[in-house]
Amino acid sequence: MTAALPEPESTLPFLPYGRQVIEADDIAAVTAALQGDFLTTGPLVGKFESALAATVRAQEAVVCSNGTAALYIAAKALGLKPGSKVIVPSLTFLATASAPHLAGAEIVFADVDPDTGLMRAEDFEWALARAGNADAVFNVHLNGQCGAIEAIHEIARRHGLKIVDDACHALGTSYRLGGAEKMVGENALSDMTVFSFHPVKTVTMGEGGAVTVNDARLADALRLHRNHGMTRDAEEFETTEDAFERPGHPNPWYYELVEPGFNWRATDIQCALGLTQLAKLTRFAARRRALAAAYDSLLAPLKPALMPVAHTECLPTLHLYPVLIDFAACGHTRTEVMARLRDEGIGTQVHYYPVHRQRYYADRYGHTDLPGADRYYARALSLPFYASMVLSDVVRVAEALRRVLHL
């Protein structure tokens, strides 16, 4: 289980819960981009989009400035607007709910499995019943795992909902469908998939996001909403007097506003880094799986007071390694545990405070009883987990947990 891991000693006195892995070729690629002709949108944008689409087996990828922007342009591409309703599991980062809400939709929060943090089929159906009707579901692949995606797909299609997979944690994750391996991002069971390339993700662009899609019309809509809601496509021009010198000859300077929007474009600098990082996905994924297996083994004796988040039936490339701790049984609050681990040079984090409990949404929609999300949150703690960790780091964290929790 641990033989494949290298054995050098860790050089970090403090282990953060997550961090980027930047190597010499990454730095060289960014330097070359800085010395090139384009700093913002240039040829590296298209190259990264092609590489990402090929990696996850999607027909197209549309890259943008960050994962939140990716969620937003996905919502706009679906035509979400005031009066729309979107189902979102409560155990996620704010952006999964706030992006479609900023596009105009109202959010209906779904509960999750208390041991995985993932939305189950029954959670989805219960949220749909509360909503009365809905237009889309933004399903979250929390920590890098995907849950009941086949059941959620069947329910969504039966009710006429579009499906956006929030896979900001799940680049490199795959699952079985009808005996075949499918990549998260391939969109075998969704309309679009959203990724993030924040520094603590498996692959980073510094900041960056993307949407993968197999529908050319949706891809065009994503590009429109990435770029101010404006078009330079002459076939879409309607103000013909200003757009054309004469029929069939558009003015080369002309562009037309279809719908006011924002600048969510990615830069060539970001995509230069993204390209070199994406080429390392297989290596990074293998290391994360080996580290997760080491954690699973070393933490097994600490059950039931401490348990790793339950495994699902996918092959995950984990973004986070969370554990579920019975803090009351251990005689310490979570804040105390985090402080004592920090004193030992170990950083931790909580993913996430349930979004339905956030002040804005609680004020807007009132109290929603989501016991699964509340129970997951009450026990969750994310441990150090990134591709440059070594086995001695995992041993150090496990031993510190045993001491701090008196297990």
pLDDT in tens, 173-229: 999 999 999 999 999 999 999 999 999 999 999 999 999 999 999 999 999 999 999
CA distances, 55 to each of 183, 218, 273, 278 (Å): 9, 20, 16, 8
Kind of pairing between the strands at 256-257 and 380-383: unpaired
Give pLDDT tens digits for 214-267: 999 999 999 999 999 999 999 999 988 899 999 989 999 999 999 999 999 999
- If one looks up domain 24-278 in CATH, what number appears? 3.40.640.10
Is the Cβ–Cβ distance between 75 and 105 less than 8 Å? yes
In the predicted structure, residue 4 carries a pLDDT above the cut 60 = no
Q: What is the mean pLDDT of the chain?
A: 96
Bridge pairing between strands 321-325 and 192-196: unpaired
Give the dihedral of Cα atoms 265, 262, 351, 63; nearest 10 deg.
-20
CA distance 144 to 93: 13
pLDDT at position 407: 87
Query: Mean pLDDT, to the nearest integer, of 324-339?
Result: 97
pLDDT class for 306, splitting at 50, 70, 90?
Answer: very high
Q: In the chain, helix, strand, coil percent, each to 5?
A: 40, 15, 40
Please give the helix or strand (H or E) that residue 328 lies within, else none: helix 327-330
pLDDT band, residue 1 (cuts 50/70/90): very low
* Contact partners, residue 269, CB within 8 Å, separation at least 6: 30, 33, 34, 39, 206
Quote the percentage of the chain above a pLDDT of 90: 96
- Neighbour tally for 42: CB within 10 Å: 17
Place 24 in a pLDDT band, splitting at 50, 70 and 90: very high
Helices 391-405, 281-299: crossing angle, 10 deg rounding:
30
Domain residue extents for the chain? 24-278, 281-405
Other CB atoms within 10 Å distance of the CB of residue 363: 8
Determine the distance from the C-alpha atom of residue 143 to the mean position of all C-alpha atoms in its chain, rounded to a whole number: 8
- pLDDT, residue 385, reads 98
Rg (the chain; Cα; Å): 22
Amino acid identity, position 172? G
pTM given for the model: 0.96
Residue 263 φ then ψ, to 5°: -90, 105
Which of the 8 DSSP states describes residue 201? Answer: S
Band (pLDDT 50/70/90 cuts) for residue 2 is very low
Which pair of tokens denotes residue 192?
A: 């679009």
The structural architecture, per CATH, of the domain 281-405 is Alpha-Beta Complex (3.90)
